[in-house]
Structure 1
Amino acid sequence: MNYVAAENLTKSYGIRTLFKNISFNINEGEKIAIVAKNGSGKSTLLKILMGKEIADSGNVIINKDIQVVLFDQEIDFDSHLTIDEYMMTLHSEPIQALKNYHKSLESTDSEFIEKALAEMEVHKAWDLENEMKQILSQLKITDLNAKMGNLSGGQIKRVALAKLLTETRAEHRHTLLIMDEPTNHLDVEMVEWLENYLNKAKITLLLVTHDRYFLDSVCDIIWEMEDQNLFFHNGSYATYLENKMIREDNMEATIDKANNLYRKELEWMRRQPKARTTKSKSRIDAFYETEKVAKTDTRKQGLELDFEMKRLGNKILELKNIDKSFGDKVLLKDFSYTFQRGEKVGIIGKNGAGKSTLLNIIQGFEKANQGEIETGETIHFGYFSQKGLQYKEDERVIDFIKEAAEYYPLANGKSLSASQFLRLFLFDDQTQYSPISKLSGGEKRRLHLMYILYQNPNFLIFDEPTNDLDLPTLTVLENFLQQFQGSLIIVSHDRYFMDRIVDHILAFEGDGKIKDFVGNFSEYRESKKIEDGNQKQDDKKIKTAEEKNSDKPTEPVASKNQNSKKKLSFKEQRELETIEKEMPDFEKTRAKILEQLNNETDYEKIASLSAELENISEKLELHEMRWLELQELLGE
């Protein structure tokens, strides 16, 4: 089934053309990711599909039998509504049935109550209510009576995401789900849950994201927006990179041929008299087309540079026995760490665990309750925070960068001008002389990041640098940081970015505890899963033993003959053998059901699996209790 058909779409703002004559189709079940640098028109294209923007030319045909749902960067909401009320602003029959049911709970009208219950059954609203609660729980939204106006930006985004996912489940029509950077403001557990949810859900998806692991897991088609065109790639992110490289190599070969032809044709053009004949007009037109190809700018935006970093002394940064609390909430407890020259450390943990607080303490923006910080005399911090770019009204991009320095030094004695450095971070000549106020949100983030790096610090501190950055910029940043010789601290939820850059993890695990782990992000996550699994097994054994002991009547010690053993009857011996044989099978079945539950998004299957889990857990518990009783009879 075809959802969307677009033909020859063109969109410009003033003299700037975002895309020209692009055509595409979206079919049922496809999961598509859009990749482009900020300012290329990704968000504009999404708004055109939503009917919020109009293309300059071309046609968009959306199947009348589908609904299009957008998860946008900008979220509209009534600040006076509670989270529960906001969730109920959805327009669908199951949601209306839910509203009527909740009203009926306060009603004494038996006819209204009966009608509300019937609507719940007809529209399967019981299932939707459970689905909504599960989604909210996974996104760590627990207080449904909280006012939307009192939530943080990250909380608002998570509530809006929960509403969107509920809406796609509530509607029985075909749905095209459009998501613009859905993983921003989500911690790792939430990202992994959403990744799994979208991967398993039977939906049609158009996605913009900078999270490459997320992209690879969820999408199998990539649209690349570049140079006003749209290129299509079937497969993974790696396939897209390979295809892009082949296309660029082919373009280089085409330009080389055009350059050779251009030189010959230019010589011919110069020999022609001013009054050219009609006979040569086609050749003249061809000359201008050849000139256009020959002058195509294919300069690679790589960063193979030999930087002259400010000197690092022997002492870098040392934290000794740092404590930090806000009231009863402990963020840091007796934390000590010595940073080494060239060390690249990743800091991870749940939102509110204290990661940003540690960065502020290191730089002297906040004071620790206790402890000592020693910073080397040669250290020059470069701090990329989440506060955003500060600039003067109507200030141009190039002038803003030149305020920091005219040139960026290289180790070979040469230097890069401000304009050359801007070009390395994907700001073309036209954009460099534009007012900062005209940049997109992502372009402002890129400029802010570049401004920090351009000041040539020797100790970089990044707090969520990848939020709202496009994939081309992330590639440039990663190349820069891999060559960076100074020390580096990164707070980020971007798994791919962290795996490429850091080799040491400080994990905030709650209550002031920080785990020091040598390895990259994925290695830490794998280690943590194994550790948590072992802990659950230990807790279960302790709980089973405690429950058994609590049920036993208290007996005087003297009444027990500790050295005696009792033989089991034939029947009891057979029972013990059967239990010992069945218990491992029950454990395997239970583990399999849990795995299925973790990967399932269909509520009916979730309900069925939950019933199976309860049944098998009950059987396993009865077997464990009886096994303990039989072991006691043996005196073991």
Structure 2
Amino acid sequence: MAWLAEHLVQRFARGSGALVVVTHDRWFLDAVCTRTWEVHDGVVDQYDGGYAAYVLARAERARTAAVTEEKRQNLLRKELAWLRRGAPARTSKPKFRIDAANALIADEPPPRDSLELSRMATARLGKDVLDVEGVTLALGGRTLLDDVTWRIGPGDRYGLVGVNGAGKTSLLRLLSGRLSPDSGRVKRGKTVQVAELRQDVEDLDEVADLRVVEVVEAEKRSVVVGGKELTAAQLVERLGFTRDRARTPVRDLSGGERRRLSLLRLLVGEPNVLLLDEPTNDLDTDTLAALEDLLDGWPGTLIVVSHDRYLLERVCDRQLALLGDGHLRDLPGGVEEYLALRRAALAAGSPTASSAGSSSAVSSALPARVAGSSSDETAGAGAGAAPAPTRSAAEVRTARKEIARIERRLAKITELEAALHAQLAEQATDYAAIQRLDTELRALAAERDELEEAWLEAAELAT
């Protein structure tokens, strides 16, 4: 997706041609498009800019027109609030008045109350959730995981990225218990209840004759989301089923509606660990926003595998990568860092960079990068790319040791932050204690920033 976006931006530069794209990938819309058309109710509304500009303009129109659809308006406000707080690149395209946007979201709280959700998750899960300890897994003659250790705690929200075939789905199967490792083990806490949304939705075939709301009610008649109790009918409506569609038999649902219903069945079972494998397939942008809004208030551990960068940045706090070399890599810099690592691996001619899901022919066909370009987000090192600087074996070993040291300290900082958040929850009425704990948290955050910068520098030397 990153390669295609850059190629289209270069191929169809302003004044050199025209491009029309139909997609639900919101990041792609922001990266490529300068105008957005919304097709609805037999009309086409036009907006300047990509998805971020479209959300802002749409919310502004709704506000000035005094639209009475309160639920729709609130959802737009929340989506807009997140966009305005998000990456600077997203807020550079809108050409509307920034003061109007700020006024619109002035009283909108953050999408997630991380402290409250962490406290609730700890209460429901305990301290031990899922521990992947020294796991090795080989499938189809390839080693997908090689001595991988990963500790997942209560309230953690991870996004998994990697090329097709790197082993992301297999890792989810290990966590869910549907697959056993060749060596090592996956340890589960005593209170863990795992629910997994698979890429296929074959589980709905057994209830094909039931109506949508009946399927959800059969699991549970009400569920608490974000501190509010929702009936099955309310939950169905919240995830985009109109009153008529809620009474539709499952066999008559579209692909996107089946995926929504499959997710609803999982949520009403009130699991405390949720594994989502490509949850955005077949979902339109409004449904995606509703899904993200629902997951915001979900107080459990969340693992998401997706190529939808917007979703990963929206609902996950951290990203991890499977690079095809059997190792699980932490990404303090998010998806941007993953793409940089892929570029470096391809530039160095690493066989693992193209072995998982992409051929050497595809890798060698990628276009040359534009140095310093903010849209340089592809996984290739094309013709004309500068050769990677050679480094001695001693320099590489030293860099890798530094990476290991930094990662250990980052893991320790994560533990310390979790402990401080727990103390904040316990001493919420003690003003002096809150000030002291807040100072400690700020110090840890500053140290984390410094370590992440050092990690990126060491990673460049080690690749």
Shorter chain as normaliser: what TM range?
0.5 to 0.7
Matched-pair contact (CA < 8 Å) for 1:361–1:368 = yes
Matched-pair contact (CA < 8 Å) for 2:135–2:148 = yes
Matched-pair contact (CA < 8 Å) for 2:212–2:248 = yes
Where does residue 434 of structure 1 map in the other structure?
248
Matched-pair contact (CA < 8 Å) for 2:225–2:297 = no
Q: Is 1:210 the equivalent of 2:24?
A: yes
**Which one-letter code corresponds to 1:494 in the other structure?**
D
Where does residue 540 of structure 1 map in the other structure?
none
Alignment root-mean-square deviation, CA: 3.4
Cα drift, residue 318 of structure 1? 0.6
- Kindly provide the CA deviation profile for residues 387-443 of structure 1, in whole angstroms up to 9, marking residues without a partner as x: 11514333211111111111113576x621111111111111111112223322222
1:335 counterpart SS class: strand
User: Where do 1:171-250 residues align within 5 Å?
Assistant: 191-202=1-12, 204-250=18-64
**Which one-letter code corresponds to 1:403 in the other structure?**
A
Q: Is 1:405 the equivalent of 2:220?
A: yes
Change (3 A) 1:300 1:450: farther
Cα drift, residue 455 of structure 1? 2.1
- Kindly provide the CA deviation profile for residues 558-605 of structure 1, in whole angstroms up to 9, marking residues without a partner as x: xxxxxxxxxxxxxxxxxxxxxxxxxxxxxxxxxxx9436999xxxxxx
Partners of 1:330 and 1:533 lie apart in 2 by: 20
Partners of 1:485 and 1:453 lie apart in 2 by: 11
- Aligned partner (choices 300, 308, 317) of residue 130 of structure 2: 317
Where does residue 281 of structure 1 map in the other structure?
none
Matched-pair contact (CA < 8 Å) for 2:226–2:297 = no
**Which one-letter code corresponds to 2:275 in the other structure?**
I
- Aligned partner (choices 210, 214, 217) of residue 395 of structure 1: 210
- Kindly provide the CA deviation profile for residues 63-100 of structure 1, in whole angstroms up to 9, marking residues without a partner as x: xxxxxxxxxxxxxxxxxxxxxxxxxxxxxxxxxxxxxx
Q: Is 1:462 the equivalent of 2:276?
A: yes
TM-score of the aligned structures, taking structure 1 as reference length: 0.45
Change (3 A) 1:481 1:410: closer
**Which one-letter code corresponds to 2:176 in the other structure?**
Q
Cα drift, residue 322 of structure 1? 0.5
Matched-pair contact (CA < 8 Å) for 1:459–1:487 = yes
- Aligned partner (choices 121, 131, 145) of residue 332 of structure 1: 145
Task: Report percent identity of matched pairs.
Answer: 32
Cα drift, residue 500 of structure 1? 2.1
Matched-pair contact (CA < 8 Å) for 1:333–1:513 = yes
User: Where do 1:602-621 residues align within 5 Å?
Assistant: none
1:245 counterpart SS class: helix
Cα drift, residue 204 of structure 1? 4.0
Partners of 2:138 and 2:318 lie apart in 1 by: 25
Name stretches of at least 5 consecutive residues in structure 2 with no aligned partner.
Answer: 79-110, 351-366, 374-381, 388-463
Change (3 A) 1:228 1:423: farther
Partners of 2:140 and 2:62 lie apart in 1 by: 57
User: Where do 1:116-195 residues align within 5 Å?
Assistant: 191-195=1-5
Cα drift, residue 243 of structure 1? 1.4
Where does residue 369 of structure 2 map in the other structure?
595
Higher RCO (CA < 8 A, seq sep 6+) = 2
Name stretches of at least 5 consecutive residues in structure 1 with no aligned partner.
Answer: 1-190, 256-295, 538-592, 600-608, 618-636
1:450 counterpart SS class: helix
Q: Is 1:354 the equivalent of 2:354?
A: no
Partners of 1:376 and 1:329 lie apart in 2 by: 30
Cα drift, residue 240 of structure 1? 0.8
**Which one-letter code corresponds to 1:495 in the other structure?**
R
The structure richer in strand per residue is 1
Where does residue 308 of structure 2 map in the other structure?
494
Q: How many residues align?
A: 317
Cα drift, residue 227 of structure 1? 4.2
Matched-pair contact (CA < 8 Å) for 2:277–2:306 = yes
- Kindly provide the CA deviation profile for residues 299-341 of structure 1, in whole angstroms up to 9, marking residues without a partner as x: 5464989998781122111111111113531111111111111
Change (3 A) 1:327 1:249: closer
Which structure has the greater CA radius of gyration? Answer: 1
Cα drift, residue 459 of structure 1? 0.8
Cα drift, residue 502 of structure 1? 2.3
